[in-house]
């Protein structure tokens, strides 16, 4: 079976943990421990979030005043390389002899996407109100408030086309574990004459993972995070985790746009368009989701 696994930002960096290299290495080791049994039995493509990491890189770029601030597409490429390198290293230790590859991946977006006028994608750390107002004034950054804290938000255009999809297919067909489309891929615009240029934004990782899974003919798409599935009636006494479900049932739920909403949308899109299995659940349950024993499993 061909499986695409999308590692959520909270699967790589737990809530409240510092953005330190050793912390991320420890969490990536935990992720690879969960994925190694899947890789041993199936063809595997891995993608991952990068919200905390790209936000940290933006802060570091801003703090170094001797040079101009680096654009988000370049920072996205840096985060793809950093996280992919750590995942590849851990996979080599768990699956000796299995070939792996990290591929910097450009994803074309529509220059007229309304997301460029309405930034919604959270990146980086949390700030108090004073720091958020200062950075907003100095840098023109937009922020969203949650529970008295503030986080930077940037445009999140829809992924339209993965530019390196041919290379990804060749590698997977050859039995290579491919780590690609990290952080949703590097957002770019392709002109009519083929010129490529990066844009300021961060593509939603789950939507890009669904596009990747469809483009490579995956049988299953696993969106792994720090919760064990999708819940109906979340936050109420009647809340219940959905096991086997359909895009139609999930479409009737009222889900938070900045949290579970994009995951459900991406999972339903993949299941509806391909007839494959889309699973949402906890990282450590990856194998059990495929076996139908855990998580929320969506089929057409």
**Distance, C-alpha 149 to centroid of its chain:** 23
Residue 19: phi and psi, rounded to 5, are -80, 60
129 is catalytic: no
For residue 97, the tally of other CB atoms under 10 A from its CB is: 5
Say whether 160 sits in a helix, a strand or coil: coil
> DSSP letter string over 110-121?
-TT-GGGGS--E
| Catalytic residue of the set 8, 84, 205, 287 | 205
CA dihedral 53, 57, 59, 60 (to 10 degrees): 140
**Catalytic-role residue among 27, 84, 263, 295:** 263
Give the DSSP letter of residue 208.
H
Tokens describing residue 287 = 């194998």
- Point out the catalytic residue in the list 10, 49, 76, 185: 10
50 catalytic, yes or no? Answer: no
Strand partners, 10: none
Active site residue: 121, 183, 201, 229, which one?
Answer: 121
Q: What Rg, from alpha-carbon coordinates, does the chain have?
A: 19
Tokens of 105: 């991946």
Percent helix / strand / coil, the chain, rounded to 5: 40, 25, 35
- Catalytic: which of 9, 49, 76, 287? 9
263 included as an active-site residue: yes
Cα gap 294→242, rounded to integer Å: 10
Catalytic residues, which ones?
9-10, 121, 205, 263
């Amino acid at each position: 079976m061909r499986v695409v696994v999308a590692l959520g930002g909270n699967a790589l960096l737990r809530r409240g943990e510092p953005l330190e290299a050793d912390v991320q290495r420890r969490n990536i080791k935990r992720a690879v421990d969960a994925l190694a049994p899947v890789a041993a039995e199936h063809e595997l493509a891995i993608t991952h979030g990068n919200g905390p990491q790209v936000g940290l890189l933006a802060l570091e770029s801003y703090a170094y005043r001797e040079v101009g601030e680096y654009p988000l597409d370049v920072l996205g490429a840096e985060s793809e390389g950093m996280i992919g390198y750590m995942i590849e290293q851990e996979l080599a230790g768990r699956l000796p002899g299995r070939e792996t590859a990290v591929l910097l991946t450009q994803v074309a977006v529509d220059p007229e996407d309304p997301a460029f006028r309405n930034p919604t994608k959270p990146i980086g750390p949390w700030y108090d109100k004073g720091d958020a107002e200062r950075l907003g004034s100095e840098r023109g950054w937009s922020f969203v408030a949650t529970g008295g804290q503030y986080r930077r938000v940037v445009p999140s255009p829809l992924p339209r086309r993965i530019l390196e999809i041919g290379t990804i297919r060749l590698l997977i067909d050859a039995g290579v574990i491919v780590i690609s489309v990290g952080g949703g891929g590097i957002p770019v615009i392709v002109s009519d004459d083929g010129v490529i240029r990066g844009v300021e934004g961060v593509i939603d990782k789950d939507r890009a993972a669904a596009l990747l899974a469809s483009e490579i003919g995956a049988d299953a798409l696993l969106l792994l995070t720090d919760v064990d599935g999708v819940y109906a009636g979340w936050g109420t006494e009647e809340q219940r985790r959905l096991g086997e479900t359909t895009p139609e049932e999930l479409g009737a739920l009222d889900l938070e746009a900045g949290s579970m909403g994009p995951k459900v949308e991406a999972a339903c899109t993949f299941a509806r368009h391909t007839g494959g299995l889309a699973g949402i659940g906890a990282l450590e349950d990856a194998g059990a989701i495929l076996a139908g024993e855990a998580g929320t499993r969506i089929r057409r």
